[in-house]
Each structure stands twice: as C-alpha cells, then as structure tokens.
Chain A
Amino acid sequence: MTETAARPAALDEIKIGGIGASRKRVEDDRFIRGKGNYTDDITLPGMLHMEILRSPLPHARIRSIDASKAWDIPGVHLVLTGEMLATRNLAWMPTLSYDTQAVLATDKVRFQGQEVAAVIADDPYIAKDACEAIDVDYEPLPPIVNPEQAQAHDAPVIRDDKVGQANNVIYDWEVGDAQGTDRAFSQADVISRLELHYPRSHPSPIECCGSVADFNRATGKLTVYMTTQAPHIIRAAVAMVAELPEQMIRIVSPDIGGGFGNKVPIYPGYVVSILASILLERPVKWIEDKSGNLISTGFARDIYLKGEMALRADGKILGVRMHTDADHGAFFSDAQPSKFKIGLMHSTFAAYDIKYAHLTARGLYTNKAPGGVAYRCSFRVTEAMFFQERMIQAAADDLGMDQAEFRRMNFVADDDFPHRTPFGFLTDSGQYAKCLDIGLKAIDYQNFRKEQAEARQRGRLLGLGISTMTEPLGAGNSREYDILGIKMFDSADLKVHMTGKAILRTGARGQGQGHETTWAQIVAHELGIPAEDVTVEEGDTDTAPFGMGTYASRSTPVAGAAVAMVARKIRAKARKLAAHLLEVSEEDVEWELGRFYVASAPERGVTITECAMAAYSNMPDGMEPGLENTAYYDPPNLTWPFAVYIVTVEVDPETGVWDVLKTVAVDDCGVRINPMIVEGQIMGGLTEAYAMASMQFITFDADGNCVGSNYMDYMLPSAWETPGFELHSEVVTPCPHHPIGAKGIGECAAVGGPAAFVNAVMDALSGTGVRNIDMPLLPDRVWEALRTGRDVSGAPPVRTDS
C-alpha cells in the first residue's frame, strides 16, 4: 500500500501515449531496418517451392493435359492437375458467396490466368521451368467480357458445370420501396439521369499473395504462414473444407505488405500449397508473381449503373432509382460478410435526407477473374458513394443549382439523428454541413468560381469537384453480418503481468494500419499503463483470440472496441485489488488515469502497477489470482464517418491532360486515437482515389485478354504524379455507441475521393454537353469528350486500332 502526504499529480495521457497522442509507430523499428517478417521471408528446413501454371485463354475446354515432361525435370517433386485433385474431391472449393470455384481447372478454363496445374520442386526456377514443360491442349470457346455479352441470347453458358444454370445470371436482387419511389418520380419537376461504368480495379498491394504450408505427419499439425487479413476465418475454412481438426491447424499471418482487401479471400494457391505439403510431408512455399496477383486474385468494382433522381424544382430530392449490373467474373466468390447480394450498395445516399429509393441489382458471370473484394471499403460502398456523388453533381447541373448549395439543402440535419436512410440503414451522428463549410472555405470556393469564369474567357478549363459521403464501416453487427455463418464480432486478450507491463492480442490483423501502436494507446487511455509498456501481437491463431480480421475499416470500430472493453474488465478487477490494498470498501474507491484512490482521502491511493503486483502476490482471500482477461465485442451498429473532399483541376483542352491544383479533405471520423496515423490513412486513401480517377484500371480486349495484368499496364501513381493533400480535422462527432467514440477511417478517402476528382474534371468540361466520362479519366478519353461533345464509355472490350 502506498500512502503519500499529498495527492500525486495526475498522469498526462498524451505523455504516456494515450488517446490523442501522435505516437511514433512501434512497428517501424523493424521495417526501417529491413527486419520485417513477410511471408516470403520465411524459410523452413527442407522447404520446397511451388509455381502455378495459368491458362493463356479466357474460355476454353481442356482436351488433355500432358505433364510427363515436367515430371522428368530433375528437382521436381510433384505435379498436380485438376484431375488429380478431383480424386480427392478438391478440384472445386466453396466460395464465401455460396458458389463454387475451381482450385485447378478440370473441364474448362473460364478466365485468362486461371490456375491449371502446379509444380512443386527444390527451387522456384525449376518449378517455373517445369510449368512451361506441361502441355495443355485447349479447345477455345467464345469469351464474354461484359454483362451485355453475358445476357445475349446466344451467349455460351460459362458455368455449365452447375446443374440448372441455363444462362449467365447469378442473381437478381432488390431493396427499397418500389411503389413509394414510383410515386416520387410521378411528382418530380425534373428527372436527372446518369449511366456509367465503375471500372474493374485491383487493390494491388506491393506484396503479392503467398503461403508456406508445413504439415507435420508426426504431430498431425498443419502450420500455414500466409498473406491473410483474416487468419481465424482461414483456420475455420480449412477445418471445414479439409476436414482437419481445428485445434491442429495453425494459421500465422506474418507481416503483410499491404492488403486493401486483396488478402481476405481464399485462393487456389493457398489450397494447393497445403495439399502439396500434406502429400509430400515437407514445407511448401508458394509466392505469387505480380502477373498472377493482378490476373487472378480478388478484383474490385466492375459495375454498371443506371441511375435516376426525382427532383423538385426548388432542389429537394424526392426519390432515387438505381439499377446495377455487376460483373462477377467466372465464379461468384465475393469476399463480403453481408446478407445482401450487392453488398452495401444500398448505403448510397445515406448522408442525404431522401424519403424514397429503390435499387435493383443483377449479377452476371463473365470470362474474367473471380473474387470481388471490398477494395479499401465495406463491400460496394465505394461504388455506392461514387454513384451518389456523380448523380448529385448531374442533378445539380440539371437544376442549374450551385453544387455546394444543392448538397447542403439535402443533407441530413445535425439534429435529425438517429436517421433512417432511404434504404433502411440507421445512421447515428454527424455534422455534415459544418464539414462542407470548412472544405469550401479551405478551397476558397467563391473566389475559385470567379477565377474559373475568368479563365474560361481566356480558353482555360478549370474545374472544381465536391464529393461528400457517409459510409457504413466496421462490419458487423452479428444480426446482419457473418462469414460462413461466423458472426462478425472481434476480440482482445489482455494480460497484465505482475510488473505492470502487459501483452495484448486481438483477433484483427493489421497490414500497415499501425495496430501495434494504436491498440497500446487505448490500453494506456483505459488503464494508465504507458503505451510503451504494452506489447501488441496479432495474426497467430494459436495465441490470438478468435476474431474476424482486418478489412472494411472494422479494426477500430470492432477490435478497437474490444481492446477498450477488455481493459475495463481488467480495471474492474484492479478496483477490487485496490480496495483490498487501501483497506476500504470497493464503493469508496475512485479512479483517475492510472490510479485508484480513496474518495474521502484522495492522497491515499494505489497505482495500476501496484494493483498488478498485488494480483500475483497479495490478492484478497478467495480472489482468483492474475490480471488477465478476454473480451469479445459485437458492435450494436456500423459506424458512419463523414467526409468532404474537394478538388480543383485544370484540363488542357489541346491534350485532355488534367492536373490537380488543390485537394482538400475534411474527415470527421469521431475520436482520433493517433492523429498521425489517421492522417496517414487519409492520405493513402486519397492517393488510391486519385489513382482510380486518373489511371488505375483493369480492362479486357474482345478476345478476353486481360489488359492490366502487370505494372507496365496497370498504372499506379508515383510520388511524381501524386498531388499534395490538405487535411482538416476540425470536426469531431464521436460515435455514440463506440466505447471510445471512434469511427472507421482507413477507407473513407478511397471511397469518397474518386468522385471529387471526376466531378472536378466534369465541371471543367461544363457546357460541352458531356455528361460522363468513365474512369479512369485518361487524357485520350477527356480529349475525345472535348472533341465530340459526347460521353465516353470505358466499358470493355477495350477499343483497338483495328
């Protein structure tokens, strides 16, 4: 027991690295030394290497596969084909969207780059040589590269493996109030229409996917080191599919070189490497190359919009009607946790006070890579917000109204929360107009409009684009969100050692978000233990509590909440220990950061460190020793951060090249745990937004060839192209249901940003008659729009000179 004459000074939360501290990152220490531990850095004794042979054709029947020459190459241990997998019932695997996906092709190949065979050898060079020695006899079939072709009356049925699948339609789905929306349209003064294509994109982390599978026959244990954002889901899936006992499966997600959604799904390469290790009883490493990653793994977007808005002459939005056609590729394997076929597309227009809306959605098979992923967003939220802000821009133009004013007058008001969105979501908090005003001031809106008008007189094309958005982040709650039936909760396990130092493990798995830094800050905030005394570990299913992983900006909303809750459990026990040490009843003990004290005598107190020591050395009779606990957190709702992004551009009328003049971002993500890290997330998101708007996309030619399957074709902006960003953090609306008031932030700028860039270019083209240019706004597309005065479609097949 400690007694001091005077009450000690309160702890300074910022100094101990608590919430609000821009604490330098713990994980940096290994990365800046080149001592990260990524999957490809792992070497095990006796390890073999696997390479995959991929289909050169997008759609073809496999007549035969002759692998004999591959087997003859010295150093080759195993050659696997679909036929061999079929004998073990592993040629097909279930997808996360309740479809099936080929592991290695048996009957047909259905997209260019599909996995056809695998070679396991002493060395990756030998494995690659052996892949080239495999002779596959293909009978080409007509390829389908867009929904229109997929729905043609004479279209070949891509999924002829599925009983009862007579066409290429995967689903028809709808949500909203059809009759109410019809009524709203019948009362409209103006109906604004917009059609566009959100191009296929790829998250493309710099690190590709890979795995090191290690099956030990002696112990029966399977250990897999792999690039996954959700190791526990993988463990559950392997247990279910491979019928291995779950406690004998250990999934380790080591350092991940970027994820952005690409590393959520289960890919054939992982499955085959596991099977190969079981067959060979040796560790097997598979590391994808960039072409393999871009051509075959989880893409995003690729969706077509037909949108309509019912408008009153004074600017009030009466209703919204949308139809989307989604191109899912050859297998319906969206990695998304919602019960909604089109993900959270119907979160669209959540920031606007609109009564009636109706959405119909159709999903289609094509001869393209499968596996829609939520690329830096909750699933389909990026498209939802892009469609919303492009439609809003078109509607304001159709009404002849100011872009900012039209948004402001239709926003949900600050005192109108909780608010039911037109599609039934419940948003909880926000100060939308305030964020917009800060953004307009930062961009100097009125003066820019004057400057723009003057520039136009001299033939210069300036433009300003606004995008606002609130998006649902942090799947789930468990009522509506699950993966393979597993509810979307998350977890934290905190062990406070007797010296007051602690180790924290969560069910999330960061990929650059800085969890090792920020989770410790939450513990510091809740317990007063300095952040530097809290070690954070994630990614090993043998030690981490069961959780659903990191994507959909869910770590802070869900796992971060679990961290706060487990710390509170620890504090509750520490309070009992404090009462024991202070020899008073528990009700007489008060808490301040890092210290319990006697209510009537604040100078008498014990620190959390002293309570930790007592938990192991001086607990009261009957109390269980130790200071450890686990919390599972099932969020009551999604979190709804809000943001305003405003971009100004200048378009060169001679070339169609456009340059960003200024980018302003106003993000309200509630309480910021580590402002430095939050700003890093926003800048990263803005860069991906700029990339998608300006250059980054995957397309296909009429023969089904993938264009964008390597970094020479898949354009990503470098430091040279990427504009600077001005960030604003003035608006903080805490989430009312999150333990520390935080909302998701990792994805906001990538979700809301693209429309700001596109709207800016479209604004520069105002008066030309052009309503839409599909992303990316490549100079040749902008130039064509300027030259013809017509919309420019980016839908595949890509145009060729012939």
Chain B
Amino acid sequence: MTVVYDDLGDEAAESDVPVRRIKFSINGAKKVAEIEPRLLLAHLIRRGVGLTGTHMGCDTTNCGACTVLVDGTPIKSCTMLAVQVDGHEVTTVEGLASLSELHPLQEGFKQEHGLQCGFCTPGMMMAAKGLLDRNPDPTEEDVRWALSGNLCRCTGYQNIVKSVLWAAEKLRAEG
C-alpha cells in the first residue's frame, strides 16, 4: 500500500480526523476498511469498494436510489454510517446476478419495461428483493407498499410493479 500526502509544513494543523477499522462482507466478499466514522455507507460502497451501481439521489432517505440489503433487509445507504455495517453482510445490485445468470428481478425489469433512465432501478430491485425474500407471492398492493420508499420519475411505477410480479412468478416456478 502506498499513500502519499502533500507536505503542508510543520505549522499546518495536524489532521485530527479519527479513523475506525471495520470488517464487513459485500456480495459475499470479505473486506476490511479504515474509514472516518462519519463516512456514509453509500460512499463506502461507491468510492471505497468501487461498486457504482448503488446510486445517490437525495441524501435524505426519501428517494431510495441507494437502497442495499444489510443482512437481507433493505436499507437506504445514504443515511446509514459505514461503521454500522461492521460485522454485517451487505448486498448490492452487483450481487444480484451470477456470472452466467440474471436474477429474475433483473429479467423482469427488462421484460416489463420497468426502467427508463435506470437511475432508480438498482434501489428498486433491492427493495423488491427484500419484499420477495419475505413474501414470495405478493399482491399488486403489497408491491406498491413495499416500493413506496423508492421514487422513480420516469416510469409511473405501473411497469415496475409488473416487473416485480413477473419476477415473483418466475421465482415461485423455480421453487
């Protein structure tokens, strides 16, 4: 590891930024990180791990573009501190598909035209995964409620709901 800093001279204020060391897993890979305690989880994922599929939309937990799973539960990573995932498992959109196969949710979003600009899509799919993991046979109303923390400006949601129901059906068929 090589880190080079600018020499600001002896009078320059010493950096008093505290550093915490955390261990976590992301999409199955174990990681160690040294981070500022104030670092947001979304920034750890995007800038630290380099997985840019998790998007930052609003910074206030409203839009859900940053939704990831922590120990299987959908959370908004823009308002969770990275230190909070110490010892936990994080799953992002990049963890949905295997090398050879898309997750049914990914297929469903393409089949039912559930996305346009694609910016909200990873968060939508992760929130939907949280729903399908606990309720494999949701109604349209269940889907709408489960996704009510995720905003989309392009689609009008109708096709997103269809996409999730498409995936639910495929997952049930696969058993």
A287 to B62, CA, bound (A): 18
**CB <8 Å contact, A74 and B13:** yes
Provide 7 A-B residue pairs closer than 8 Å at the C-beta atoms, listed in order of the A residue.
A36-B119, A207-B117, A290-B57, A683-B155, A712-B62, A718-B150, A719-B148
**CB <8 Å contact, A34 and B51:** yes
Task: Give chain A residues whose Cβ lies under 8 Å from the Cβ of B54.
Answer: 34
**CB <8 Å contact, A207 and B94:** no
**CB <8 Å contact, A206 and B151:** yes
From B97, B119, B155, A207 is in contact (CB under 8 Å) with B119
A511 at the interface (CB under 8 A from B): yes
**CB <8 Å contact, A28 and B115:** yes
**CB <8 Å contact, A206 and B53:** no
**CB <8 Å contact, A711 and B154:** no
Nearest opposing residue in chain A for B11, CB measure:
A72
Nearest opposing residue in chain A for B14, CB measure:
A74
B38 at the interface (CB under 8 A from A): yes
A207 to B54, CA, bound (A): 12
**CB <8 Å contact, A680 and B65:** no
A→B interface (CB under 8 Å) = 24-25, 27-36, 38, 40-41, 72-75, 125, 204-208, 255-260, 287, 289-291, 511-514, 676-677, 679-680, 683-688, 710-712, 716, 718-722, 724-725
**CB <8 Å contact, A718 and B154:** no
Residue of B93, B96, B149, B153 contacting most chain A CB atoms (<10 Å):
B153
From A514, A680, A716, B153 is in contact (CB under 8 Å) with A716
A33 to B96, CA, bound (A): 8
**CB <8 Å contact, A289 and B59:** yes
Nearest opposing residue in chain A for B146, CB measure:
A719
B→A interface (CB under 8 Å) = 6, 8, 12-13, 15, 36, 38-39, 46, 51-60, 62-63, 65, 92-94, 96-97, 102, 106, 109-111, 113, 115-122, 125, 143-145, 147-161
CB distance from A288 to the nearest CB of B (A): 10
9 additional contacts, CB 8 Å, given A30-B118, A511-B117, A724-B158?
A33-B97, A72-B13, A74-B12, A204-B153, A206-B57, A207-B57, A257-B55, A290-B58, A684-B153
From B93, B125, B158, A725 is in contact (CB under 8 Å) with B158
Task: Give chain A residues whose Cβ lies under 8 Å from the Cβ of B156.
Answer: 680, 683-687, 722, 725
Residue of A34, A38, A72, A74 contacting most chain B CB atoms (<10 Å):
A34
A684 to B58, CA, bound (A): 20
Task: Give chain A residues whose Cβ lies under 8 Å from the Cβ of B115.
Answer: 25, 28, 31-32, 512
**CB <8 Å contact, A711 and B110:** no
Task: Give chain A residues whose Cβ lies under 8 Å from the Cβ of B36.
Answer: 125
Nearest opposing residue in chain B for A680, CB measure:
B113
A28 to B12, CA, bound (A): 50
**CB <8 Å contact, B106 and A32:** yes
A308 to B23, CA, bound (A): 69
A651 to B31, CA, bound (A): 54
**CB <8 Å contact, A719 and B119:** no
A255 to B115, CA, bound (A): 13
CB distance from B6 to the nearest CB of A (A): 8
From A32, A257, A677, A718, B125 is in contact (CB under 8 Å) with A32
From B59, B102, B154, B155, A32 is in contact (CB under 8 Å) with B102
**CB <8 Å contact, B60 and A258:** no
Task: Give chain B residues whose Cβ lies under 8 Å from the Cβ of A125.
Answer: 36, 38-39
Given A34-B54, A719-B161, check contact A74 B8 (CB 8 Å).
Answer: yes
Majority-rule SS of B interface residues? loop
From A32, A683, A716, B109 is in contact (CB under 8 Å) with A32
Task: Give chain A residues whose Cβ lies under 8 Å from the Cβ of B56.
Answer: 40, 287
Nearest opposing residue in chain A for B111, CB measure:
A24
Shortest 3 CB-CB contacts between residues of A and residues of B: A34-B53, A257-B119, A31-B118
Task: Give chain B residues whose Cβ lies under 8 Å from the Cβ of A722.
Answer: 156-158
Task: Give chain B residues whose Cβ lies under 8 Å from the Cβ of A724.
Answer: 158
**CB <8 Å contact, A205 and B153:** yes
**CB <8 Å contact, B106 and A33:** yes
CB distance from A616 to the nearest CB of B (A): 35
Nearest opposing residue in chain A for B143, CB measure:
A719
A709 to B12, CA, bound (A): 37
A41 to B55, CA, bound (A): 9
Task: Give chain B residues whose Cβ lies under 8 Å from the Cβ of A680.
Answer: 113, 116, 154-156, 159
Residue of A30, A259, A684, A688 contacting most chain B CB atoms (<10 Å):
A684
From B52, B117, B159, A41 is in contact (CB under 8 Å) with B52
CB distance from B52 to the nearest CB of A (A): 4
CB distance from B106 to the nearest CB of A (A): 4
A34 to B52, CA, bound (A): 7
**CB <8 Å contact, B94 and A33:** yes
CB distance from A744 to the nearest CB of B (A): 16
Task: Give chain A residues whose Cβ lies under 8 Å from the Cβ of B94.
Answer: 33-34
CB distance from B58 to the nearest CB of A (A): 4
Residue of B57, B96, B109, B155 contacting most chain A CB atoms (<10 Å):
B57
Task: Give chain A residues whose Cβ lies under 8 Å from the Cβ of B158.
Answer: 683, 722, 724-725
A289 to B29, CA, bound (A): 30
A710 to B152, CA, bound (A): 16
CB distance from A499 to the nearest CB of B (A): 27
Task: Give chain A residues whose Cβ lies under 8 Å from the Cβ of B113.
Answer: 24-25, 676-677, 679-680
CB distance from B80 to the nearest CB of A (A): 16
Task: Give chain A residues whose Cβ lies under 8 Å from the Cβ of B92.
Answer: 34
Task: Give chain A residues whose Cβ lies under 8 Å from the Cβ of B55.
Answer: 38, 40, 206-207, 257
Nearest opposing residue in chain A for B145, CB measure:
A720
**CB <8 Å contact, A711 and B60:** yes
Task: Give chain A residues whose Cβ lies under 8 Å from the Cβ of B116.
Answer: 258, 512-514, 680, 684
A29 to B145, CA, bound (A): 27
From A36, A75, A711, B118 is in contact (CB under 8 Å) with A36
**CB <8 Å contact, B122 and A34:** yes
Task: Give chain B residues whose Cβ lies under 8 Å from the Cβ of A688.
Answer: 153
**CB <8 Å contact, B157 and A290:** no
Nearest opposing residue in chain B for A28, CB measure:
B110
**CB <8 Å contact, B118 and A28:** yes
Nearest opposing residue in chain B for A124, CB measure:
B43
A289 to B78, CA, bound (A): 12
**CB <8 Å contact, B117 and A512:** yes
